[in-house]
């Protein structure tokens, strides 16, 4: 892991590699030796560099390399983070780098905010999952050991980065979980890993199959019954203000460690990506981890249903009817619409057992939502206008954008069953909406609830400045911002 150091002193000016941020074409002479300033000014003139966002000129005189990087006039925090990921790509081959933050007069953020967001972007952009390579070239190992930040106003302090460091840790943790293959990350192994987090002060209860059955979570069990890997339900509690009487916040995550589709078998093409159908659970667990690392002054309860959806002689059949923990019956029309069955039982249990009043669930739920938004937005479904507005705003601020989709009685009646209280999926059209309507039936009317369908944003098959190819950990930044970690 790269060490990030925020320091008001200028003892590292001798570093051979420097990055200077600017919103225009000027070069601050206090950061460079005279001959380097001259070379930079010539490079700026030749490249017509004007300090616009993401632009860069670089000079190298055989000993020192300097990057002059444009921030643009009014970059947002999310844009600065993305710039950090971009800069990481330029400097990752060096061992130690000094970054100099010049004043950005047209934005409210001070130099410390800029430096912290840059470091955050570097941590996200520098993520790699190489656990299962048996051989690597020396060039494949991380080279960047330390990045030291300086500012003209001297307003830098290592403590300023503590919360963002915790969030970066959580994002990387979620990505690690999601990149694990399903033969290693079974429901039992996932539950054991969650239990390990008690060292941070989290309280973790793991429900095994007998306890799950005793609680009537038959929808969840119906998904798991085709696999030889037994299900688990993990309840994770962070009590930052134990005596608080504030509304109880609950997070719910879908943890299908592999989704074959069950008897309604998926096509073989792309099925390997279904190891990531537990991303919602990973995001919830990582958010609780960040809350603990930040010592957040808030109470949060998370619950994740951990199952594997497989076809076998024991598997649930299309047409079967199961009774949920709420007592209502569900006709299983399609065993590949399994995530909502897991979430429905977990949603009800969280409200009944722990009294959650503000609830967000996260799931890679439907191809319908993915086809609507691609990899740009997650689908947001919400029963409260104020909560929806907050999540949309926080999505823009965190760089994890959401777009609200409608739910109404006309959509809801599409999941009525002729022989049970409801069926687990509706017609082919509006699949993401009818899935959300199914979940809403397990939310008490008095509670505020939002559903995030993150199918499509959970993976990046090409790679990006902040999300190298593979699992993105999408949702950790959004939820940690929502609960107040940063």
Using the predicted structure, report yes or no on whether residue 136 has a pLDDT greater than 80.
no
Q: What per-residue confidence (pLDDT) applies to 391?
A: 98
pLDDT (tens digit per residue) in 440-472:
999 999 999 999 999 999 999 999 999 999 999
We find that the CATH architecture of domain 3-155 is 3-Layer(aba) Sandwich (3.40)
CA 238 to CA 392: how far, in whole Å?
25
Q: How far is CA 374 from CA 29, 431, 435, 454, in A?
A: 45, 15, 18, 10
Q: Give the residue range(s) of CATH 3.40.220.10 domains in the chain.
A: 3-155
399 phi, psi to nearest 5 deg: 85, 5
Using the predicted structure, report yes or no on whether residue 11 has a pLDDT greater than 90.
no
Q: What per-residue confidence (pLDDT) applies to 138?
A: 65
CA 352 to CA 274: how far, in whole Å?
31
Instruction: Determine the distance from the C-alpha atom of residue 256 to the mean position of all C-alpha atoms in its chain, rounded to a whole number.
Output: 17
Q: What per-residue confidence (pLDDT) applies to 9?
A: 61
Least-confidence region, from 30-39, 80-89, 181-190, 370-379: 30-39
Q: What per-residue confidence (pLDDT) applies to 158?
A: 84
Counting Cα atoms < 13 Å in the Cβ hemisphere of 410 gives 2
Which one, of 333, 356, 338, lies nearest residue 443 by Cα?
356
Q: What per-residue confidence (pLDDT) applies to 32?
A: 72
Average pLDDT over residues 77-82: 96
Q: For residues 141 and 91, is the Cβ–Cβ distance under 8 A? A: no
Q: What per-residue confidence (pLDDT) applies to 73?
A: 86
Class of residue 151 by CB neighbours under 10 A (exposed 0-12, middle 13-18, buried 19+) = buried
What's domain 164-483's superfamily in CATH? Zn peptidases (3.40.630.10)
pLDDT tier for residue 257 given thresholds of 50, 70 and 90: very high
pLDDT (tens digit per residue) in 265-317:
999 999 999 999 999 999 999 999 999 999 999 999 999 999 999 999 999 99
Average pLDDT over residues 321-327: 98
> 8 vs 294, which has greater pLDDT?
294
Which one, of 198, 216, 83, 166, lies nearest residue 476 by Cα?
166
pLDDT (tens digit per residue) in 167-220:
999 999 999 999 999 999 999 999 999 999 999 999 999 999 999 999 999 999
CA 358 to CA 251: how far, in whole Å?
9
Q: At what angle do helices 77-91 and 385-398 cross, to 10 degrees?
A: 30
Mean pLDDT of the chain: 94
Q: At what angle do helices 77-91 and 111-125 cross, to 10 degrees?
A: 60
276 phi, psi to nearest 5 deg: -90, 10
Full 3-state SS string of the chain: CCEEEECCCCCCCCCCEEEEEECCCCCCHHHCCHHHHHHHHHHHHHHCCCCCCCCEEEEECCCCEEEEEECCCCCCHHHHHHHHHHHHHHHCCCCEEEEEECCCCCCCCCHHHHHHHHHHHHHHHCCCCCCCCCCCCHHHCCCCCEEEEEECCCCCCHHHHHHHHHHHHHHHHHHHHHHCCCCCCCHHHHHHHHHHHHHHCCEEEEECHHHHHHCCCHHHHHHHCCCCCCCEEEEEEEECCCCCCCCCEEEEEEEEEEECCCCCCCCCCCHHHHHHCCHHHHHHHHHHHHHHHHCCCCEEEEEEEEEEECCCCCCCCCCCEEECCCCCEEECCCCCCCHHHHHHHHHHHHHHHHCCCEEEEEECCCHHHHHHHCCCCEEEEECCHHHHHHHHHHHHHHCCCEEECCCCHHHHHHHCCCCCCEECCCCCCCHHHHHHHHHHCCCCCCCEEEEEECCCCCEECCCCCCCCCEECCCCHHHHHHHHCCC
pLDDT tier for residue 8 given thresholds of 50, 70 and 90: low
Q: Is the pTM of this model over 0.85?
A: yes
- Provide the percentage of residues in the chain whose pLDDT is more than 90: 83
| Residues labelled catalytic | 266, 340
pLDDT tier for residue 328 given thresholds of 50, 70 and 90: very high
> 353 vs 138, which has greater pLDDT?
353
Q: What per-residue confidence (pLDDT) applies to 156?
A: 83
Average pLDDT over residues 98-103: 86
CA 235 to CA 195: how far, in whole Å?
10
Using the predicted structure, report yes or no on whether residue 12 has a pLDDT greater than 70.
no
């Amino acid at each position: 892991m790269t060490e990030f150091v925020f320091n008001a002193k200028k003892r590292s000016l001798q570093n051979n590699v420097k990055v200077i941020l600017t919103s225009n074409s000027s070069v601050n002479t206090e950061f460079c030796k005279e001959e380097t300033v001259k070379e930079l000014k010539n490079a700026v003139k030749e490249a017509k560099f004007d300090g616009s966002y993401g632009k860069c000129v670089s000079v190298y005189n055989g000993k020192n390399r300097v990057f002059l990087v444009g921030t643009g006039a009014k970059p947002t925090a999310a844009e600065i983070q993305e710039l950090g990921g971009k800069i990481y790509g330029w400097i990752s081959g060096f061992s130690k780098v000094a970054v100099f933050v010049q004043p950005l007069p047209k934005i409210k953020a001070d130099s410390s905010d800029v430096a912290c967001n840059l470091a955050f972007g570097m941590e996200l952009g520098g993520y790699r999952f190489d656990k299962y390579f048996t051989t690597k070239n020396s060039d494949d190992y991380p080279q960047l050991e330390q990045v030291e930040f300086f500012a003209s106003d001297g307003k830098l302090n290592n403590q300023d980065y503590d919360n963002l460091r915790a969030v970066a840790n959580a994002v990387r943790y979620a990505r690690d979980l999601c990149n694990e293959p399903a033969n290693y990350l079974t429901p039992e192994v996932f539950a054991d890993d969650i239990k390990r987090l008690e060292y941070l002060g989290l309280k973790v209860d793991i429900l095994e199959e007998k306890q799950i059955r005793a609680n009537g979570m038959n929808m969840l069990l119906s998904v798991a019954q085709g696999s030889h890997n037994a299900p688990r339900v993990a309840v994770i509690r962070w009590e930052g203000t134990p005596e608080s009487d504030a509304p109880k916040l609950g997070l719910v995550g879908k943890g299908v460690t592999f989704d074959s589709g069950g008897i309604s078998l998926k096509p073989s093409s792309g099925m390997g990506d279904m190891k990531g159908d537990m991303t919602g659970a990973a995001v919830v667990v990582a958010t609780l981890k960040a809350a603990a690392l930040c010592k957040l002054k808030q109470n949060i309860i998370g619950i994740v249903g951990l199952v594997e959806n497989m076809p076998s002689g024991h598997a649930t059949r299309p047409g079967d009817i199961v009774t949920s923990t709420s007592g209502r019956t569900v006709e299983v029309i399609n065993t590949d619409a399994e995530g909502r069955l897991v979430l429905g039982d977990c949603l009800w249990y969280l409200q009944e057992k722990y009294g959650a009043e503000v609830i967000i669930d996260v799931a890679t739920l439907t191809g319908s939502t993915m086809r609507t938004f691609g990899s740009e937005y997650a689908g947001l479904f919400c029963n409260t206008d104020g909560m929806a507005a907050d999540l949309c705003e926080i999505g823009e601020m965190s760089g994890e954008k959401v777009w609200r989709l409608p739910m109404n009685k006309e959509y809801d009646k599409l999941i009525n069953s002729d022989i049970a209280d409801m069926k687990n999926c509706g017609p082919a059209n509006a699949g993401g909406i009818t899935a959300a309507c199914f979940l809403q039936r397990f939310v008490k009317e008095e509670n505020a609830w939002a559903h995030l369908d993150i199918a499509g944003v959970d993976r990046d098959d090409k790679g990006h400045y902040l999300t190298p190819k593979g699992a993105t950990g999408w949702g950790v930044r959004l939820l940690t911002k929502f609960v107040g970690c940063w």
